[in-house]
Amino acid sequence: MMGASSTEKTTTNNPLEQFVLLAKTAKGAAALELVKQAIETPGVNVFGELLDMPNIKELENGPHAAYWNTLNLFAYGTYKQYLENKDKLLELTPTQKKKLQHLTIVTLATKSKCIPYSVLLEELDIKNVRDLEDLIIEAIYADIINGKLDQRNSQLEVDFAGLGRDVRPGDAGIVAGTLSAWGQACDSILACIEQQVAKANLEKQKATHHKDKIQQDIANIKKALAAQAGGGGVQEADMAGGGTGAGSSESGREALPVPPDAKKKQQKAKGIRGSGTSNLIDDSMN
């Protein structure tokens, strides 16, 4: 039971795996039937591993080369190539035909993100736009491609392909070159980002230093103002204290009581001054 579950899991993750396993022992008619099932089964869209199996490779130069050629076409070719080489290939069933047409759309999507209907009609050998749009919609729902139909401009706009096709052995160098160029572009972008980060950190440090300096200046100004306010208060207090003392002294003198003897002397003195003045006036009149 555990072995069956493991097999089901492997098959689910890689639909081609079951055919690769069977190809290890398949010979003769079994190998031919295996090829037909592989190109017919939904979800099996890559075939490179199967082509590499020794029992399948034996078909390439034998009397059953059409099976090898057809499997090779599904791995790397297009529907238009099928039409041009029918005499060397198997007759396709409707299911196989539709799968190859879907794979052809994937190939076209790797070359252009906007594929005109005219190109698709020619490559897929479809006579009217309605049938073409139905085929594209099926490919989108099957996650073979992701995009939308632009009916106004009569084109298919592709966002990305939901699956990849096999790479021909001779194309490995091209793929490696493309990946290398992409890696260099990523390195350049990363270096630019690092420079921007360093510049941003430097600006942040400058701003922080400037902020600290302003805060220190504000603190110093506050201390100076507080010191000035304290000194002025002491001076005002001293001035107020001196004025009050003088007033108190003056009022104190006015409030001192005059002794009785001093009052009599003052009155006597006034009388003498008054008498003297009157005598002088009388003498002058005489």
Domain segments of the chain as ranges: 8-76, 181-228
CA distance 126 to 132: 6
Record the pTM: 0.60
Q: Which of 114, 58, 50, 113 is nearest to 76 (CA)?
A: 50
CA distance 90 to 73: 10
Query: Which stretches of the chain are DSSP H helices?
Result: 2-13, 17-23, 29-40, 48-51, 54-57, 65-76, 79-84, 94-109, 117-124, 129-141, 172-255, 260-285
Contact by Cβ (8 Å): 47, 75: yes
Q: Any residues with CB less than 8 A from the CB of 62 and at least 6 apart, and which? A: none
Position 251 scores a pLDDT of 45
Residue 224's Cβ-side half-sphere holds a number of Cα atoms within 13 Å equal to 6
The CA distances from residue 101 to 19, 92, 136, 140, 225, in Å, are 22, 11, 10, 13, 87
Query: Which stretches of 152-171 are DSSP H helices?
Result: none
Position 269 scores a pLDDT of 53
For CA atoms 226, 232, 236, 242, the dihedral sign is positive
Contact by Cβ (8 Å): 129, 121: yes
Q: Which 8-state DSSP code applies to residue 86?
A: G
Position 242 scores a pLDDT of 52
Q: Which of 49, 64, 54, 59 is nearest to 19 (CA)?
A: 49
CA distance 267 to 271: 6
Chain Cα centroid distance, residue 217: 40
Phi/psi class of residue 104: alpha, beta or left (left: φ > 0; alpha: ψ in -120 to 50)?
A: alpha
CA distance 26 to 30: 5
Per-position pLDDT tens, the chain of length 286: 334 444 444 444 678 888 899 888 888 899 999 999 999 998 899 998 999 999 999 998 889 999 999 999 999 999 999 999 999 999 999 999 999 999 999 999 988 899 999 999 999 999 999 999 999 999 999 889 999 999 999 999 999 887 888 887 766 676 677 778 878 889 889 989 998 999 999 999 999 999 999 999 999 998 889 888 876 555 555 555 554 444 444 444 445 555 555 555 555 555 545 555 445 445 544 4
